[in-house]
Structure 1
Amino acid sequence: MTLLWTIATRVTRLGTILGGIAIAMMMLHVSFDVLSRHLFNSPLPGTLTMVTYYYMIIATFVPLAHAEHKRAHISVEVLTERLPQRLQHHLQGWMYLATGCVTGLLAWRSATDAMKAMKLGASQVQGAETIAVWPAYFALPFGAGLMTLLLALRFAAYLTGRSETLETEAAA
């Protein structure tokens, strides 16, 4: 389980780096588009499509598992913080399963849609350009699938009583 956690951690880091690259590329692309529009009166073709179908999607969904890995998702603990520590621990453990089921369903459904888009060769026409957008459809199943894997590993660690040691063993 530690090896799988280590691999998932590395893939999560790679996804986070890809998300950062997408943000940088979006910034550069939009900046060059604005410069081209104002200096040469000719915007870059496909900017809107690239920003909405690639950069934003990749920046949002590929690093989705990063927040789970860092335990940085938003949580409201109005009631649970008042519960005994032992009960909080068990509640958190079972929430890994519940959340994993939701993200697993999201990964499965979005993968189905991505496969359909790939078979159809989904594309967008912007001006005289036709830009294939189907590859971007795989960002959501990738991010949600990776998050599901992390949650499944955390749930397995909870069930085996290794919740505290999973991440420390992987780091060592």
Structure 2
Amino acid sequence: MDRIAKAIATPLGILASISTIVMMVGISADVVYRNVQGESLSGVLELSETALVAAVFFGMAYAATSGAHISVDLLTSRLPEPVARGCLVVAWVLSCVILTWLCYATFGRAMDSFERGEVRMGLVEWPLWPARWFIVVGLAALLVVSLVNVVRLLTGRSLMGEAEQEARVREVDDEVRAAHGERKD
């Protein structure tokens, strides 16, 4: 199941990165054009909005599988291991329930948007339905990762990306120690 989650999340993470670059290039070009011509490039705002949706929703599953998401263990780090693991199972199961509901709701909205050919009227007529599908795909991918994390926790393994996250923390700690002339113990 881990391979399936990563096989889904990795291409979406790449698409999220590409979307960020598209947004950055588009906005930069618009700024330059506006300073030279005194008006905005047609369609850049709409393109940037769609790219932002793709960057956010396509990036969620990748962040969860690679340990790049923000996690707060203020409570679970102070609990005994079995209790902490139980809390994490409950949290991830609740995440699965909420994500299932969100997938259902956004799927219906995306279908309706596609069938009606929903567009946004601005400087250009821009289709909204692709961005609505980006939301569905991103939430569904995060649901898969959440289900994998529930299974991992129930089988005594760590969350996806947790080992990578811990390695990055150790790496930063080593860099800080080296900058202050401290030795590893």
Q: Pick the TM interval, shorter chain.
A: 0.7 to 0.9
**Where does the alignment leave 5 or more consecutive residues of structure 1 unmatched?**
168-172
Alpha-carbon deviations, 1:114-147, whole Å to 9, x = none?
Answer: 11111111111223x3121211111111111111
Within the candidate set 21, 29, 33, 1:32 is matched to 29
Given that residues 77 and 84 in structure 2 are in contact (C-alpha distance below 8 angstroms), is that contact kept between their aligned partners in structure 1?
yes
Q: 1:32 to 1:164 in 2, by over 3 A?
A: closer
Shift of 1:31: 1.7
Letter of the structure 1 residue corresponding to residue 52 of structure 2: M
Provide the alpha-carbon RMSD of the alignment.
2.2
Mapping of residues 1-172 of structure 1, within 5 Å = 1=1, 5-52=2-49, 54-127=50-123, 129-159=124-154, 161-164=155-158
- Matched positions, count: 161
Shift of 1:110: 1.1
Shift of 1:41: 4.2
Q: 1:136 to 1:43 in 2, by over 3 A?
A: same
Alpha-carbon distance in 1 for matches of 2:97, 2:26:
37
Alignment correspondent of 2:183: none
Given that residues 149 and 159 in structure 2 are in contact (C-alpha distance below 8 angstroms), is that contact kept between their aligned partners in structure 1?
no
TM-score (norm 2): 0.77
TM-score (norm 1): 0.82
Determine helix, strand or coil for the equivalent of 1:163.
coil
The structure whose RCO (Cα within 8 Å, separation 6+) is larger is 1
Determine helix, strand or coil for the equivalent of 2:120.
strand
Q: Percent identity?
A: 24
Shift of 1:107: 1.7
Q: 1:79 to 1:31 in 2, by over 3 A?
A: closer
Alignment correspondent of 1:170: none
Alpha-carbon distance in 2 for matches of 1:82, 1:166:
21
Letter of the structure 2 residue corresponding to residue 43 of structure 1: S
